[in-house]
Amino acid sequence: MEVSVVIPTYNRADTLRECLELLIGQKFVKDEYEIVVVDDGSTDSTAEVVENIKKSSKIQIKYLYQKNQGQGIARNYGIKHAHGKVIVLVGDDILVKRDFINEHMKFHRKHKSENEAVLGFIGWDPRLEINPFMEWLTNGSAVMGKFGGHQFAFEKLEGKKQANFNFFYTSNISIKRSLLMRNPFDTRFSSYGWEDIELGYRLTKKEGLILHYNPKAMAYHLHPMDEKGLANRMRNIGRSAHLIHRKYPELKKVPSKFKQSIFALLGHQITLWILEKIRELSDGKYYTLYYYALSKKYFLEGLKEGY
């Protein structure tokens, strides 16, 4: 078998249904790919959704269940039970185009070395109403052309054929299974923030990872977001920063005291009040620095908790 699509999922039955329907409709040889769903302890109708789709699908679908332990452990479980030579990792809220697998495999057939992987493009689902927060979240160059949100930063890859470990986005990436079997996700990263970047860096350092970028391997993210979820996201990133810093201090993921003082100034109550007023007076036009400053406030809170 050529390809295994591995999907960790948790309590997103409706979105998962759409994700699976698009995957079983791929323009790819039916008996040359499989779908492996790893249910990370869902309490909704996830199992029923997968079972119903299995009954009508010509594609082999495996359903694996584990108690809630996080995405890294779920991915390792799925990869272990996959049979494809190439593993495609997507999220349960990722909706792919019909030529999605073909576009990944086109690059793998050209770049056959074990250490060569493929990154696809992810955009917001066209049905979503994109708010300013979502725009900021997926623009890594929103502030001074260098800083921005923490979801994706595909604008930095425009015109480029390869990406570095910072773009090891497990929502749309494919890697040879043999490489992942030898280098699984670090299960100590149980919360959102670093498990994908850590693996990307480890593969780069240990295996000489080459990450090819194919924007035609396109998928859409069906996950509306707003400012309310920023606090939890950034605190998790701050707490987990200590773990990756202990493993790879050269990455400096725990900022220096000087940089932390700048973040503290940005995230100060008075600074945030001023930036919010600027946002309001400009009818929401100037919002990027406000979101960036707010994210640093929450990141420092998580960093302190992590100590």
Query: Among 87, 82, 105, 93, which residue's Cα sits nearest to residue 26?
Result: 105
Tell whether 176 and 209 lie within a shared domain: yes
Query: Among 91, 87, 92, which residue's Cα sits nearest to residue 104?
Result: 87
Tell whether 277 and 158 lie within a shared domain: no
Q: Which among 193, 221, 249 is the end of a domain?
A: 221
Tell whether 39 and 78 lie within a shared domain: yes
Query: Among 65, 92, 68, 71, which residue's Cα sits nearest to residue 185?
Result: 71
Q: Which among 162, 193, 221 is the end of a domain?
A: 221
Tell whether 146 and 19 lie within a shared domain: yes
pLDDT band with cut points at 50, 70 and 90 for residue 145: confident
| Domain count along the chain | 2
Query: With contact defined as beta carbons under 8 Å apart, do 68 and 10 qualify?
Result: yes
Q: What are the structure tokens assigned to 10, written together?
A: 């948790």
Task: Look at 29-43, 184-198, 245-259, 264-278 and tell me which has the smallest mean pLDDT.
Answer: 184-198
Tell whether 104 and 175 lie within a shared domain: yes
Nearest-angstrom CA–CA distance, 307 and 305: 6
Tell whether 195 and 61 lie within a shared domain: yes
Tell whether 75 and 194 lie within a shared domain: yes
Q: Which among 221, 242, 258 is the end of a domain?
A: 221
Q: What are the structure tokens assigned to 121, written together?
A: 């493009």
62-70 mean pLDDT: 96
Tell whether 204 and 233 lie within a shared domain: no
Query: What pLDDT, on the 0 to 100 scale, is given for residue 192?
Result: 58
Tell whether 118 and 104 lie within a shared domain: yes
DSSP for 41-61 reads: S--SSHHHHHHHHHHH-SSEE
Range of the domain at 12: 3-221
223-249 mean pLDDT: 94
Query: With contact defined as beta carbons under 8 Å apart, do 34 and 83 qualify?
Result: yes
Nearest-angstrom CA–CA distance, 138 and 151: 5
Query: What pLDDT, on the 0 to 100 scale, is given for residue 191?
Result: 61
Tell whether 147 and 201 lie within a shared domain: yes
Residues 6+ positions from 109 with CB-CB distance below 8 Å: none
Tell whether 75 and 201 lie within a shared domain: yes
Q: What are the structure tokens assigned to 193, written together?
A: 């923030």
**Segment 24-49, tens digit of pLDDT:** 999 999 999 999 999 999 999 999 99
User: Taking each helix axis from N to C terminus, what angle separates 230-247 and 288-306, rounded to the nearest 10 degrees?
Assistant: 50
Tell whether 178 and 58 lie within a shared domain: yes
**Segment 75-104, tens digit of pLDDT:** 999 999 999 999 999 999 999 999 999 999
- Other beta carbons less than 10 A from residue 218's beta carbon: 17
Can you give the CATH number for the domain in which 46 is found? Answer: 3.90.550.10
Residues 6+ positions from 297 with CB-CB distance below 8 Å: 234, 263, 266, 267, 268, 272
